[in-house]
Amino acid sequence: MAYDFKKIVGSFAIDGELMRCERYGEGHINETYLAEVNEGGKTVNYIVQKINSNLFKNVDKLMNNIRLVTEFNREEIRRRGGNPDRESLSLVYTKTGAPYIYDEESGGYFRIYIFITDAVAYQVVEKPEHFYQSAVAFGDFANLLAQFDATQLYEVLPDFHNTAKRFRDFENSLNADKLGRAKNVRKEIDFVLKRKDYCSRIVDLLKSGKMPTKVTHNDTKLNNVMLDAKTGKYVAVIDLDTIMAGSICYDFGDSIRFGCNPAAEDEPDLGKVNFSIELFETYVKGYLTALGGSVTAVEKENLAFGAILMTYECGMRFLADYLDGDVYFRTHRAGQNVDRCRTQFKLIEDMEKCYDKMCEIVNKY
């Protein structure tokens, strides 16, 4: 539908005239637009987003999460002599000081961010340097927020990386076996059951306080990193809708899960699915170099395990969805969720075989 962007943008503390506002980027969750504003004869760009309130039910708490984290980030960046408008996702507040508006005419929630200039986001890793820069980005993101009290964040997606609960959900799907599919994937089911002990390790460390609870991004893909258009170096981390409290091992592990496998996530030929120890070292080097002294001993001890855990959790979720009738993850062909879980389990087998080497690499940096 068409939105009255002049009215929407006019609700925010922007001193200028809106020239145009058009769809922008490749995001699938929120509707994103690029607004061009004439501010005293100079064109200034902003990102306008209509928030997906069907997915994010409590917009107020979602936006408070983003407000808390971005303001903390901006202050840390100022303290180290950086440019917060460029190096952090930055909200533009409304004229009344709120981080978003509700537009009654469209029934939509809108927010505006400062546009990060002279920077690009890649959809796929085109060369190892991209993967390295994403590691630096998320390592620095974790370092900036190391002293932030993550317990004040609203849990946008409850129990998102509570692997112990994910296992119970899997057991429920298996026991129900609504469509009688369990007989087709007995090997995969046994794979999950055999590794049940993986589930509670990080959860228990967090619960006991032995591992610190920190801010997690929870969507550590390359396309959520802005790279300098000229130098190719990391500029800023974007898309903070899923920030929550958790372990840095989750973000690290999920990056490894999808970044160290050259094959597609649903590749039917498992011969093409391989864990790259070289790419693992590339990521570890960038991540730990940027994270610096803020990483604790128990976090470092569990980084390599985090890669296995996040791969296990993801594969288990694909398998459970297959048992449930392919109702959560979008599929385009029969058996796609089975192929997805098999790629994850192949990666786990590879990682288990070279786990000692993975730990050596982590300890090297």
Question: Regarding the domain delimited by 128-364, which CATH topology (the fold level of the hierarchy) does it fall under?
Answer: Aminoglycoside 3'-phosphotransferase; Chain: A, domain 2 (3.90.1200)
**Domain ranges across the chain:** 5-117, 128-364
Helical segments of 80-144, H only: 84-87, 128-144
Angle (nearest 5°) at CA 213 between 304 and 131:
40
What is d(CA 320, CA 254) in angstroms, rounded to the nearest whole number? Answer: 19
Q: Residue 54 to residues 51, 59, 66: CA-CA distances in angstroms? A: 9, 10, 18
360 has pLDDT over 80: yes
pLDDT digits (tens, 9 = 90+) for 103-121: 999 999 999 999 999 999 9
pLDDT digits (tens, 9 = 90+) for 186-228: 999 999 999 999 999 999 999 999 999 999 999 998 899 999 9
- In this structure, which amino acid lies at residue 106? S
Q: Measuring CA to CA, which residue among 303, 295, 287, 304 is closest to residue 132?
A: 287
CATH node for 5-117? 3.30.200.20
Q: DSSP strand E in the chain: where? A: 17-23, 31-39, 42-51, 91-92, 101-103, 108-114, 119-120, 214-216, 225-228, 234-237, 244-246
- Residue 136 makes CB contacts below 8 A (sequence gap 6+) with 233, 234, 286, 287, 289, 290
Give the residue-averaged pLDDT of 333-354: 98
> Mean pLDDT, the chain, as a whole number?
96
2 has pLDDT over 90: no
